Structure 1
Amino acid sequence: MDAPRFNHFDGEGNAIMVDVSSKAPTHREAVAAGKIKVSRPVLDAITGHTAAKGDVLGVARVAGIMGTKRTSDLIPLCHPLMLSNARVDFTILAEECAVEARCTVKLDGKTGVEMEALTGVTVALLTIYDMCKAIDKSMELTGIHLLHKEGGKSGVYDHD
């Protein structure tokens, strides 16, 4: 079995943007998730809508969607993509004192949207941190990972 080849480098080892011009567009979708562990007062402020900066999850949702659209500005060599859908959903995990964020991104295109989904989740969680840090700075972002992707040459991937 051949060693995996990194496709962001040319034959001389120079960093390059992958050339996707000859690829046919296909439907692509990616879902990423992550959590922010918070203290009970932070969770109460989020669920009770009493945080001084406003609707924490509403703002974090918009921030996460904005993050998906700005991924190519943040991650070198990412292609700028015309997304057809991006959404961020939250689940309150009261027993863990945490909030889970899940970002789903879709498009019909020549390259995948995994980085956009991962960026969307991360930006959403960072926004929760920013909006709640006046209450408690000990929050912890954890478990950010790709849950699912489909489309393209590598097919379907599902995280165990």
Structure 2
Amino acid sequence: NPIEQEGTYPLPQAQLDRFLLKVYIDYPDMDEELLMVKQITSDSVADKLDVSSIQEVLKPEEIISLQRYTSTLGVDEQIVAYAVNIVRTTRDWSGIETGSGPRGSIALLRAGRANAVLSGRRFVTPDDIKAVAPAVLRHRIKLSADLEIEGYRADDVLKDILSNVQAPRV
């Protein structure tokens, strides 16, 4: 909400780097927004959303167990090198003023593991790394002023990087 951002300042790059992902959540489309407004305003007081019908999917201890399992997922050395190569490429890519640091490589591997688990696999593929790379790296790179003026976004540049860094054939 732009109104609530008044008096706030963007986080420094060193603090942004500590977030695992930067996920974009756009406004709902017309039908979704209509449904949301109807649900919230029907038989409710103020902004209280009735959550009584929401069912628990996982218990907290199951989440911790899933996190432990994900952290032990096997990752081939070539996949680790691929993730590091992507991150290192952001440091030398034309149009990127500041590339990602080693935390980006770590986050890329962690998120890649999570993507593999969510896909029902016990191993990480290059596609897992590619799938999570934009969310992992978009807040870890700073585009040059020239690219920003031309309307480029971090995702545009990351797409180019992902198409140019050779994926291993595991």
Structure scoring higher RCO (CA < 8 A, sep ≥ 6) equals 1
Q: TM-score, normalised by structure 2?
A: 0.30
The structure carrying a bigger strand percent of its residues is: 1
The structure carrying a bigger helix percent of its residues is: 2
